[in-house]
Protein backbone atom coordinates (compact mmCIF):
# COMPACT_ATOMS: atom_id res chain seq x y z
CA UNK A 1 0.00 0.00 0.00
CA UNK A 2 1.30 3.45 -0.89
CA UNK A 3 1.50 5.85 2.03
CA UNK A 4 2.41 9.52 2.18
CA UNK A 5 5.57 10.91 3.74
CA UNK A 6 5.53 14.51 4.92
CA UNK A 7 8.20 17.03 5.75
CA UNK A 8 8.50 17.41 9.53
CA UNK A 9 8.88 20.90 10.94
CA UNK A 10 8.82 21.57 14.70
CA UNK A 11 7.31 18.12 15.19
CA UNK A 12 4.40 18.65 12.77
CA UNK A 13 3.84 17.05 9.36
CA UNK A 14 4.05 19.65 6.60
CA UNK A 15 2.78 18.93 3.08
CA UNK A 16 4.50 20.16 -0.05
CA UNK A 17 2.82 21.55 -3.13
CA UNK A 18 4.10 18.51 -5.09
CA UNK A 19 4.74 14.88 -4.30
CA UNK A 20 7.16 12.42 -5.86
CA UNK A 21 7.21 8.64 -5.93
CA UNK A 22 9.55 6.61 -3.78
CA UNK A 23 10.29 3.19 -5.26
CA UNK A 24 11.19 -0.16 -3.68
CA UNK A 25 14.37 -1.11 -5.59
CA UNK A 26 13.78 -4.84 -5.07
CA UNK A 27 10.47 -4.84 -6.94
CA UNK A 28 10.18 -1.49 -8.71
CA UNK A 29 6.88 -0.84 -6.89
CA UNK A 30 5.90 2.59 -5.54
CA UNK A 31 5.97 2.55 -1.74
CA UNK A 32 5.50 6.20 -0.77
CA UNK A 33 4.34 9.48 -2.16
CA UNK A 34 6.76 11.98 -0.69
CA UNK A 35 5.91 15.63 -0.11
CA UNK A 36 8.61 17.72 -1.73
CA UNK A 37 9.73 20.82 0.17
CA UNK A 38 9.78 23.97 -1.93
CA UNK A 39 11.73 27.08 -0.92
CA UNK A 40 8.93 28.19 1.45
CA UNK A 41 8.83 24.87 3.28
CA UNK A 42 12.64 24.86 3.59
CA UNK A 43 12.45 28.40 4.96
CA UNK A 44 9.87 27.29 7.54
CA UNK A 45 12.19 24.49 8.62
CA UNK A 46 15.18 26.82 9.01
CA UNK A 47 13.04 29.26 11.01
CA UNK A 48 11.81 26.43 13.25
CA UNK A 49 15.42 25.38 13.89
CA UNK A 50 16.42 28.97 14.66
CA UNK A 51 13.46 29.33 17.04
CA UNK A 52 14.51 26.13 18.85
CA UNK A 53 17.99 27.57 19.38
CA UNK A 54 16.50 30.75 20.76
CA UNK A 55 14.20 28.77 23.04
CA UNK A 56 14.54 25.88 25.48
CA UNK A 57 16.89 23.84 23.24
CA UNK A 58 19.42 26.67 23.20
CA UNK A 59 19.51 26.64 27.02
CA UNK A 60 19.92 22.86 27.42
CA UNK A 61 23.03 21.88 29.38
CA UNK A 62 25.65 19.47 28.06
CA UNK A 63 24.71 16.77 30.58
CA UNK A 64 21.04 17.11 29.67
CA UNK A 65 21.90 16.82 25.98
CA UNK A 66 23.78 13.59 26.72
CA UNK A 67 20.66 12.24 28.49
CA UNK A 68 18.46 13.24 25.56
CA UNK A 69 20.78 11.53 23.06
CA UNK A 70 20.58 8.32 25.10
CA UNK A 71 16.79 8.69 25.16
CA UNK A 72 16.79 8.97 21.34
CA UNK A 73 18.83 5.74 21.15
CA UNK A 74 16.21 4.08 23.37
CA UNK A 75 13.35 5.37 21.20
CA UNK A 76 15.01 3.99 18.05
CA UNK A 77 15.48 0.68 19.85
CA UNK A 78 11.79 0.69 20.78
CA UNK A 79 10.93 1.10 17.07
CA UNK A 80 13.63 -1.30 15.88
CA UNK A 81 11.34 -3.39 13.64
CA UNK A 82 9.76 -0.32 12.04
CA UNK A 83 13.17 1.14 11.28
CA UNK A 84 14.34 -2.15 9.76
CA UNK A 85 11.21 -2.46 7.62
CA UNK A 86 11.43 1.16 6.43
CA UNK A 87 15.13 0.86 5.56
CA UNK A 88 14.69 -2.42 3.71
CA UNK A 89 11.73 -1.11 1.70
CA UNK A 90 13.59 2.08 0.73
CA UNK A 91 16.94 0.48 -0.15
CA UNK A 92 16.13 -3.14 -1.05
CA UNK A 93 19.08 -4.20 1.10
CA UNK A 94 19.03 -7.66 2.70
CA UNK A 95 16.98 -7.44 5.89
CA UNK A 96 19.82 -9.16 7.71
CA UNK A 97 22.11 -6.23 6.91
CA UNK A 98 19.64 -3.60 8.14
CA UNK A 99 19.18 -5.67 11.31
CA UNK A 100 22.88 -6.11 12.06
CA UNK A 101 24.42 -2.94 10.63
CA UNK A 102 22.17 -0.01 9.76
CA UNK A 103 19.76 0.22 12.69
CA UNK A 104 22.17 -0.90 15.47
CA UNK A 105 24.75 1.60 14.21
CA UNK A 106 22.16 4.40 14.30
CA UNK A 107 21.52 3.55 17.95
CA UNK A 108 25.27 3.36 18.61
CA UNK A 109 25.78 6.76 16.98
CA UNK A 110 23.54 8.46 19.55
CA UNK A 111 25.02 6.53 22.49
CA UNK A 112 28.58 7.17 21.37
CA UNK A 113 28.17 10.94 21.05
CA UNK A 114 26.31 11.03 24.37
CA UNK A 115 29.39 9.36 25.91
CA UNK A 116 31.75 11.75 24.13
CA UNK A 117 30.12 14.89 25.47
CA UNK A 118 29.39 13.45 28.90
CA UNK A 119 33.03 12.42 29.38
CA UNK A 120 34.67 15.43 27.88
CA UNK A 121 32.06 17.77 29.31
CA UNK A 122 32.05 20.08 26.32
CA UNK A 123 31.70 22.80 28.93
CA UNK A 124 34.38 25.42 29.10
CA UNK A 125 37.95 24.14 29.32
CA UNK A 126 41.27 25.70 30.23
CA UNK A 127 43.41 26.49 27.23
CA UNK A 128 46.78 28.25 27.68
CA UNK A 129 48.18 30.25 30.54
CA UNK A 130 50.60 32.95 29.43
CA UNK A 131 54.25 33.11 30.58
CA UNK A 132 54.55 33.63 34.31
CA UNK A 133 50.83 33.30 34.85
CA UNK A 134 50.08 36.81 33.70
CA UNK A 135 46.90 35.71 31.98
CA UNK A 136 44.40 32.89 32.15
CA UNK A 137 42.82 31.51 29.01
CA UNK A 138 39.77 29.32 28.78
CA UNK A 139 37.50 28.39 25.91
CA UNK A 140 33.74 28.06 25.75
CA UNK A 141 32.52 25.72 22.97
CA UNK A 142 29.33 27.01 21.36
CA UNK A 143 26.96 25.46 18.86
CA UNK A 144 27.40 26.52 15.26
CA UNK A 145 23.66 27.21 15.08
CA UNK A 146 21.39 25.81 12.37
CA UNK A 147 23.14 22.86 10.72
CA UNK A 148 21.99 21.50 7.37
CA UNK A 149 22.49 17.71 7.24
CA UNK A 150 22.35 16.31 3.70
CA UNK A 151 22.62 12.56 3.40
CA UNK A 152 22.78 9.83 0.73
CA UNK A 153 20.77 6.68 0.05
CA UNK A 154 23.26 3.87 0.60
CA UNK A 155 23.19 3.65 4.42
CA UNK A 156 20.40 6.18 4.95
CA UNK A 157 19.76 6.02 8.70
CA UNK A 158 23.33 5.13 9.66
CA UNK A 159 24.86 8.08 7.78
CA UNK A 160 22.11 10.54 8.73
CA UNK A 161 22.49 9.80 12.44
CA UNK A 162 26.29 9.91 12.12
CA UNK A 163 25.76 13.64 11.49
CA UNK A 164 22.57 14.37 13.45
CA UNK A 165 23.85 12.84 16.71
CA UNK A 166 27.00 14.99 17.02
CA UNK A 167 25.16 18.06 15.70
CA UNK A 168 22.57 17.73 18.50
CA UNK A 169 25.31 16.79 20.98
CA UNK A 170 26.94 20.13 20.20
CA UNK A 171 23.67 21.96 20.89
CA UNK A 172 22.87 22.75 17.25
CA UNK A 173 19.45 22.61 15.63
CA UNK A 174 19.20 20.45 12.53
CA UNK A 175 17.42 20.64 9.21
CA UNK A 176 17.92 17.23 7.61
CA UNK A 177 17.51 16.56 3.90
CA UNK A 178 17.63 12.80 3.35
CA UNK A 179 18.12 11.37 -0.11
CA UNK A 180 15.04 11.45 -2.33
CA UNK A 181 15.59 7.71 -2.83
CA UNK A 182 15.37 6.87 0.90
CA UNK A 183 13.20 9.35 2.81
CA UNK A 184 11.48 7.00 5.27
CA UNK A 185 13.88 6.48 8.18
CA UNK A 186 14.73 10.20 8.46
CA UNK A 187 11.01 10.83 8.87
CA UNK A 188 10.62 8.06 11.43
CA UNK A 189 13.61 9.48 13.30
CA UNK A 190 11.61 12.68 13.86
CA UNK A 191 9.04 10.61 15.75
CA UNK A 192 11.77 8.98 17.88
CA UNK A 193 13.38 12.35 18.62
CA UNK A 194 10.06 13.90 19.68
CA UNK A 195 9.30 10.88 21.87
CA UNK A 196 12.72 11.26 23.51
CA UNK A 197 11.65 14.70 24.68
CA UNK A 198 13.78 17.04 22.58
CA UNK A 199 12.20 20.46 22.18
CA UNK A 200 10.33 20.70 18.86
CA UNK A 201 12.37 22.33 16.13
CA UNK A 202 15.70 20.85 17.25
CA UNK A 203 15.34 18.32 14.41
CA UNK A 204 13.41 19.02 11.22
CA UNK A 205 13.16 17.08 7.96
CA UNK A 206 12.67 18.42 4.46
CA UNK A 207 12.22 16.10 1.50
CA UNK A 208 13.19 16.50 -2.10
CA UNK A 209 15.95 16.39 -4.67
CA UNK A 210 19.22 18.31 -4.98
CA UNK A 211 19.22 20.99 -7.70
CA UNK A 212 16.19 23.34 -7.77
CA UNK A 213 14.66 21.43 -4.89
CA UNK A 214 15.01 21.00 -1.13
CA UNK A 215 18.79 20.34 -1.32
CA UNK A 216 19.79 23.54 -3.04
CA UNK A 217 17.10 25.62 -1.29
CA UNK A 218 18.65 24.51 1.99
CA UNK A 219 22.32 25.04 1.12
CA UNK A 220 21.54 28.42 -0.46
CA UNK A 221 19.38 29.56 2.47
CA UNK A 222 20.75 32.72 4.06
CA UNK A 223 20.23 31.57 7.64
CA UNK A 224 22.03 28.25 7.90
CA UNK A 225 25.31 28.21 9.81
CA UNK A 226 27.00 25.05 8.47
CA UNK A 227 26.51 22.18 6.06
CA UNK A 228 27.46 18.62 6.82
CA UNK A 229 27.15 16.43 3.76
CA UNK A 230 27.69 12.84 2.68
CA UNK A 231 27.42 12.03 -0.99
CA UNK A 232 29.13 12.36 -4.33
CA UNK A 233 32.26 14.47 -4.74
CA UNK A 234 30.62 16.50 -7.52
CA UNK A 235 27.67 17.37 -5.25
CA UNK A 236 30.15 18.40 -2.55
CA UNK A 237 31.73 20.81 -4.99
CA UNK A 238 28.30 22.31 -5.85
CA UNK A 239 27.48 22.72 -2.16
CA UNK A 240 30.82 24.42 -1.52
CA UNK A 241 29.98 26.98 -4.18
CA UNK A 242 26.50 27.45 -2.67
CA UNK A 243 27.86 28.33 0.78
CA UNK A 244 30.95 30.22 -0.43
CA UNK A 245 29.32 33.69 -0.56
CA UNK A 246 28.48 33.43 3.16
CA UNK A 247 31.68 31.51 4.08
CA UNK A 248 29.96 28.73 6.01
CA UNK A 249 31.89 25.75 7.37
CA UNK A 250 31.42 22.41 5.63
CA UNK A 251 32.17 18.82 6.59
CA UNK A 252 32.19 16.53 3.57
CA UNK A 253 32.28 12.75 3.36
CA UNK A 254 32.46 12.06 -0.37
CA UNK A 255 33.23 9.34 -2.88
CA UNK A 256 36.03 6.80 -3.02
CA UNK A 257 37.95 4.53 -5.38
CA UNK A 258 39.36 2.39 -2.65
CA UNK A 259 42.25 -0.01 -3.04
CA UNK A 260 43.14 -3.24 -1.31
CA UNK A 261 46.74 -4.44 -1.34
CA UNK A 262 47.21 -8.18 -0.93
CA UNK A 263 50.66 -9.60 -0.14
CA UNK A 264 51.68 -13.21 -0.77
CA UNK A 265 52.19 -13.69 2.98
CA UNK A 266 48.52 -12.98 3.78
CA UNK A 267 46.18 -15.47 5.44
CA UNK A 268 44.61 -16.59 2.16
CA UNK A 269 41.16 -17.68 3.36
CA UNK A 270 40.69 -14.73 5.72
CA UNK A 271 41.83 -12.37 2.96
CA UNK A 272 39.39 -13.79 0.41
CA UNK A 273 36.55 -13.50 2.94
CA UNK A 274 37.53 -9.95 3.87
CA UNK A 275 37.97 -8.86 0.27
CA UNK A 276 34.63 -10.36 -0.78
CA UNK A 277 32.92 -8.48 2.04
CA UNK A 278 34.69 -5.26 1.06
CA UNK A 279 33.65 -5.58 -2.60
CA UNK A 280 30.09 -6.89 -2.34
CA UNK A 281 28.59 -5.61 0.94
CA UNK A 282 25.38 -3.64 0.31
CA UNK A 283 25.80 -4.51 -3.39
CA UNK A 284 29.01 -2.48 -3.43
CA UNK A 285 27.14 0.65 -2.40
CA UNK A 286 29.30 1.64 0.55
CA UNK A 287 31.70 4.55 0.13
CA UNK A 288 34.38 2.36 1.73
CA UNK A 289 33.95 -0.55 -0.70
CA UNK A 290 37.02 -1.84 -2.52
CA UNK A 291 36.99 -1.34 -6.29
CA UNK A 292 40.72 -1.92 -7.00
CA UNK A 293 42.52 -5.01 -5.70
CA UNK A 294 46.31 -5.18 -6.15
CA UNK A 295 47.57 -8.71 -5.57
CA UNK A 296 51.17 -9.95 -5.30
CA UNK A 297 51.72 -12.11 -8.37
CA UNK A 298 52.51 -15.34 -6.49
CA UNK A 299 48.98 -15.46 -5.00
CA UNK A 300 47.05 -13.75 -7.80
CA UNK A 301 45.37 -16.88 -9.12
CA UNK A 302 44.40 -18.34 -5.76
CA UNK A 303 42.92 -15.02 -4.58
CA UNK A 304 41.10 -14.49 -7.88
CA UNK A 305 39.63 -18.01 -7.81
CA UNK A 306 38.52 -17.57 -4.20
CA UNK A 307 36.81 -14.26 -4.97
CA UNK A 308 35.03 -15.67 -8.02
CA UNK A 309 33.79 -18.53 -5.85
CA UNK A 310 32.51 -16.08 -3.20
CA UNK A 311 30.78 -13.98 -5.88
CA UNK A 312 29.04 -17.08 -7.28
CA UNK A 313 27.84 -18.07 -3.81
CA UNK A 314 26.13 -14.74 -3.06
CA UNK A 315 22.39 -15.29 -2.76
CA UNK A 316 20.36 -12.82 -4.80
CA UNK A 317 16.77 -12.96 -3.57
CA UNK A 318 14.03 -10.93 -1.93
CA UNK A 319 15.55 -8.81 0.88
CA UNK A 320 13.42 -10.55 3.50
CA UNK A 321 13.99 -14.12 2.28
CA UNK A 322 16.05 -16.35 4.56
CA UNK A 323 19.76 -16.27 3.64
CA UNK A 324 19.62 -13.36 1.17
CA UNK A 325 22.98 -11.62 1.16
CA UNK A 326 22.85 -9.65 -2.08
CA UNK A 327 20.27 -6.96 -2.86
CA UNK A 328 19.52 -4.76 -5.86
CA UNK A 329 21.04 -1.40 -6.73
CA UNK A 330 19.14 1.65 -5.52
CA UNK A 331 17.45 2.79 -8.74
CA UNK A 332 17.06 2.26 -12.46
CA UNK A 333 19.29 5.28 -13.05
CA UNK A 334 22.03 3.91 -10.82
CA UNK A 335 21.82 0.48 -12.43
CA UNK A 336 22.17 2.11 -15.86
CA UNK A 337 25.30 3.85 -14.59
CA UNK A 338 26.82 0.70 -13.07
CA UNK A 339 25.95 -1.36 -16.16
CA UNK A 340 27.60 1.27 -18.36
CA UNK A 341 30.82 0.75 -16.35
CA UNK A 342 30.48 -3.01 -16.87
CA UNK A 343 30.28 -2.42 -20.64
CA UNK A 344 33.12 0.11 -20.53
CA UNK A 345 35.35 -2.36 -18.67
CA UNK A 346 35.00 -4.81 -21.56
CA UNK A 347 35.62 -2.05 -24.12
CA UNK A 348 38.75 -1.13 -22.17
CA UNK A 349 40.04 -4.69 -22.50
CA UNK A 350 38.94 -6.33 -19.25
CA UNK A 351 38.54 -10.07 -18.98
CA UNK A 352 35.33 -10.73 -17.05
CA UNK A 353 36.01 -13.33 -14.37
CA UNK A 354 32.44 -13.41 -13.12
CA UNK A 355 29.23 -11.42 -13.60
CA UNK A 356 29.12 -8.40 -15.88
CA UNK A 357 25.39 -8.39 -16.52
CA UNK A 358 21.87 -8.29 -15.16
CA UNK A 359 20.74 -11.52 -13.48
CA UNK A 360 17.50 -13.42 -14.00
CA UNK A 361 15.40 -13.10 -10.88
CA UNK A 362 12.09 -14.53 -9.70
CA UNK A 363 8.95 -12.95 -11.17
CA UNK A 364 7.99 -10.81 -8.17
CA UNK A 365 11.44 -9.12 -8.35
CA UNK A 366 11.51 -8.57 -12.10
CA UNK A 367 10.77 -4.85 -11.76
CA UNK A 368 13.76 -4.39 -9.43
CA UNK A 369 17.21 -3.03 -10.21
CA UNK A 370 19.27 -6.20 -9.95
CA UNK A 371 22.86 -6.59 -11.06
CA UNK A 372 25.49 -9.32 -10.97
CA UNK A 373 28.50 -9.28 -8.65
CA UNK A 374 31.39 -8.69 -11.04
CA UNK A 375 35.17 -9.14 -11.12
CA UNK A 376 37.65 -8.28 -13.86
CA UNK A 377 41.30 -8.74 -14.62
CA UNK A 378 43.41 -7.22 -17.37
CA UNK A 379 42.78 -3.54 -16.51
CA UNK A 380 45.41 -0.96 -15.55
CA UNK A 381 45.30 2.35 -13.72
CA UNK A 382 45.04 4.19 -17.04
CA UNK A 383 41.54 2.81 -17.66
CA UNK A 384 38.51 4.94 -16.77
CA UNK A 385 37.00 1.99 -14.89
CA UNK A 386 40.04 2.15 -12.58
CA UNK A 387 39.78 5.90 -11.97
CA UNK A 388 36.07 6.67 -11.54
CA UNK A 389 33.86 5.55 -8.69
CA UNK A 390 31.41 2.86 -9.86
CA UNK A 391 29.56 2.44 -6.54
CA UNK A 392 28.45 -1.06 -7.46
CA UNK A 393 29.47 -4.66 -6.70
CA UNK A 394 32.54 -4.74 -8.92
CA UNK A 395 36.31 -4.76 -8.62
CA UNK A 396 39.33 -5.08 -10.86
CA UNK A 397 42.12 -7.48 -9.85
CA UNK A 398 45.64 -6.37 -10.81
CA UNK A 399 48.93 -8.20 -10.12
CA UNK A 400 52.04 -6.49 -8.68
CA UNK A 401 55.63 -7.57 -8.00
CA UNK A 402 57.06 -5.27 -5.32
CA UNK A 403 55.81 -3.44 -2.24
CA UNK A 404 56.87 -0.09 -3.69
CA UNK A 405 54.90 -0.79 -6.87
CA UNK A 406 51.82 -1.77 -4.84
CA UNK A 407 51.95 1.47 -2.84
CA UNK A 408 52.34 3.53 -6.00
CA UNK A 409 49.42 1.80 -7.72
CA UNK A 410 47.13 2.12 -4.70
CA UNK A 411 47.91 5.83 -4.28
CA UNK A 412 47.48 6.58 -7.98
CA UNK A 413 43.98 8.06 -7.63
CA UNK A 414 42.26 11.43 -7.18
CA UNK A 415 40.33 9.99 -4.23
CA UNK A 416 41.66 9.24 -0.75
CA UNK A 417 39.01 7.63 1.41
CA UNK A 418 39.98 4.12 2.53
CA UNK A 419 42.43 1.29 1.87
CA UNK A 420 42.98 -2.22 3.18
CA UNK A 421 46.29 -4.07 3.47
CA UNK A 422 46.34 -7.85 3.73
CA UNK A 423 49.56 -9.36 5.15
CA UNK A 424 50.74 -11.40 8.14
CA UNK A 425 53.96 -9.37 8.31
CA UNK A 426 53.33 -6.90 11.13
CA UNK A 427 56.02 -4.43 10.10
CA UNK A 428 54.85 -4.43 6.50
CA UNK A 429 51.23 -3.97 7.63
CA UNK A 430 52.14 -0.78 9.50
CA UNK A 431 54.51 0.45 6.83
CA UNK A 432 52.14 0.03 3.88
CA UNK A 433 49.06 1.25 5.80
CA UNK A 434 50.97 4.42 6.77
CA UNK A 435 52.00 4.95 3.15
CA UNK A 436 48.38 4.98 1.94
CA UNK A 437 47.12 8.49 1.17
CA UNK A 438 43.69 7.90 2.68
CA UNK A 439 41.64 8.85 5.70
CA UNK A 440 41.27 5.24 6.91
CA UNK A 441 43.66 2.35 6.27
CA UNK A 442 42.78 -1.10 7.59
CA UNK A 443 45.16 -4.00 8.08
CA UNK A 444 43.67 -7.51 7.76
CA UNK A 445 40.14 -6.17 8.10
CA UNK A 446 37.69 -3.79 6.49
CA UNK A 447 35.06 -1.42 7.87
CA UNK A 448 35.95 -2.15 11.48
CA UNK A 449 35.02 1.07 13.24
CA UNK A 450 35.55 2.62 16.63
CA UNK A 451 33.17 5.55 16.52
CA UNK A 452 35.63 7.74 18.42
CA UNK A 453 38.34 7.44 15.76
CA UNK A 454 38.63 10.00 12.94
CA UNK A 455 36.62 9.19 9.82
CA UNK A 456 36.87 11.08 6.53
CA UNK A 457 38.83 11.39 3.35
CA UNK A 458 41.53 13.21 1.42
CA UNK A 459 41.46 14.66 -2.09
CA UNK A 460 38.11 14.15 -3.83
CA UNK A 461 36.97 12.04 -0.86
CA UNK A 462 36.17 14.90 1.44
CA UNK A 463 36.97 17.65 3.87
CA UNK A 464 37.37 17.18 7.60
CA UNK A 465 37.17 14.24 9.97
CA UNK A 466 34.22 13.11 12.04
CA UNK A 467 34.01 10.66 14.94
CA UNK A 468 34.13 11.26 18.73
CA UNK A 469 35.85 14.51 19.60
CA UNK A 470 36.75 15.11 15.94
CA UNK A 471 33.05 15.56 15.23
CA UNK A 472 32.61 17.83 18.21
CA UNK A 473 35.42 20.04 16.91
CA UNK A 474 33.36 20.58 13.78
CA UNK A 475 29.92 20.94 15.39
CA UNK A 476 31.04 23.51 17.98
CA UNK A 477 33.04 26.72 17.85
CA UNK A 478 35.12 27.82 20.80
CA UNK A 479 35.21 31.38 22.10
CA UNK A 480 38.53 31.84 23.88
CA UNK A 481 38.44 34.11 26.92
CA UNK A 482 41.66 35.70 28.15
CA UNK A 483 41.78 37.28 31.59
CA UNK A 484 44.73 39.35 32.67
CA UNK A 485 45.92 38.24 36.11
Q: How far is the CB of 435 from ligand NAD (least distance, A)?
A: 21
The distance of closest approach from Cβ of residue 136 to ligand NAD in the complex, given in angstroms and rounded to an integer, is 40
The answer to the question of residue 394 lying near ligand NAD (CB under 6 A) is no
Q: How far is the CB of 131 from ligand NAD (least distance, A)?
A: 43
Tell me the HSE value of 393 on the side-chain side, using a 13 A CA sphere.
31
75 is a site residue for ligand NAD (CB under 6 A): no
Where in 177-196 is the site for ligand NAD (CB under 6 A)?
Answer: 177, 179-180
Q: How far apart are CA 396 and CA 423, in angstroms?
A: 19
Q: Count how many residues are written for the chain.
A: 485
Out of 181, 200, 253, 389, pick the active-site residue: 253
- Looking only at the bridges linking them, the beta strands covering 18-23 and 30-36 are antiparallel
Please count the other Cβ atoms lying within 10 Å of the Cβ belonging to residue 381: 16
b/e 209-235 (16+ beta carbons within 10 angstroms → b): ebeebbbbbbbbbeebbbbbbbbbbeb
How many CB atoms are closer than 10 A to CB 459? 17
Contact range with ligand NAD by CB under 6 A, out of 152-160, 191-199, 398-406, 422-430? 152-160
Q: Does 94 bind ligand NAD (CB under 6 A)?
A: no
Q: Does 253 bind ligand NAD (CB under 6 A)?
A: yes
User: Which residue number is nearest to ligand NAD in terms of Cβ?
Assistant: 210
The sheet that has 250-253: what strands, in order across it? Answer: 12-14, 7-9, 203-205, 173-177, 146-150, 226-230, 250-253, 462-463
Please tell me whether residue 392 binds ligand NAD under the rule CB under 6 A. Answer: no
Nearer to ligand NAD, 116 or 230 (CB): 230
Question: Does residue 239 touch ligand NAD according to CB under 6 A?
Answer: yes
Shortest CB 317 distance to ligand NAD, Å:
24
Residue in 287, 291, 348, 389 annotated catalytic: 287
Please report the sign of the dihedral spanned by the C-alpha atoms of residue 473, residue 478, residue 484, residue 485: negative
209 belongs to the binding site for ligand NAD (CB under 6 A) = yes
Residue 289 is among the residues annotated as catalytic for this protein: no
Contact flag: residue 80 with ligand NAD (CB under 6 A) = no
Angle at 104 between CA 98 and CA 108, to 5 degrees: 145
State the Cα–Cα distance between residues 445 and 443, nearest whole angstrom.
5
State yes or no: residue 232 binds ligand NAD (CB under 6 A). yes
Rule CB under 6 A: choose which of 255, 319, 429, 468 binds ligand NAD.
255
Q: Region of 212 please: left (phi>0), alpha (psi -120 to 50) or beta.
A: left
Pick one of 6, 20, 113, 153: the residue that binds ligand NAD (CB under 6 A).
153
Q: Where does residue 352 rank: exposed (0-12), middle (13-18), buried (19+ CB within 10 A)?
A: middle
Q: Residues near 354 by Cβ (< 8 Å), separated by ≥ 6? A: 308, 311, 312, 372, 373, 374, 375
38-46, 77-85, 176-184, 273-281 -> range binding ligand NAD (CB under 6 A) = 176-184
- For the segment 417-456, give every residue that binds ligand NAD (CB under 6 A): 417
Shortest Å distance, C-beta 112 to ligand NAD? 16
- Under the binding rule (CB under 6 A), the answer on residue 254 touching ligand NAD is yes
Interaction residues for ligand NAD, span 11-30 (CB under 6 A): none
Instruction: Mark whether 287 is an active-site residue.
Output: yes
Give the CB-side neighbour count of residue 179, counting CA atoms within 13 A.
23
Kindly indicate which of the ranges 63-71, 135-143, 190-198, 235-243 contains the residues binding ligand NAD, using the contact rule CB under 6 A: 235-243
By CB atoms closer than 10 A (0-12, 13-18, 19+), residue 92 is buried
Interface contacts to ligand NAD, rule CB under 6 A: 150-154, 159, 177, 179-180, 209-211, 215-216, 219, 230-232, 235, 238-239, 253-256, 287, 389, 391, 417, 457, 462
User: Which sequence positions are flagged as catalytic?
Assistant: 253, 287
Amino acid sequence: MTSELFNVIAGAPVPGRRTFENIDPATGRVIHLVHEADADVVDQAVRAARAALQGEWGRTTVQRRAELLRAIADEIQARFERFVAAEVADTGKPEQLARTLDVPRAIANFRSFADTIAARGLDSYLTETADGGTALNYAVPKPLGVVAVISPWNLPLLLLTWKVAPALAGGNAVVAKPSEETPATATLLAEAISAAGLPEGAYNVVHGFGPDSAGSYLTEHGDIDAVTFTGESRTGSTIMRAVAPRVRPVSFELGGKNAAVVFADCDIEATIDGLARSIFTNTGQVCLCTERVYIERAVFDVIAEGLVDRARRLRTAHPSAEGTDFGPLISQQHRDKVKSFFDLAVEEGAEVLVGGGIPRVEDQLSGGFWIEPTLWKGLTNTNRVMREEIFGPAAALVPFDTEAEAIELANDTDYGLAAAVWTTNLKRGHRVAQAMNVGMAWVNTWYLRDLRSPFGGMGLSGIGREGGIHSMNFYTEPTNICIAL
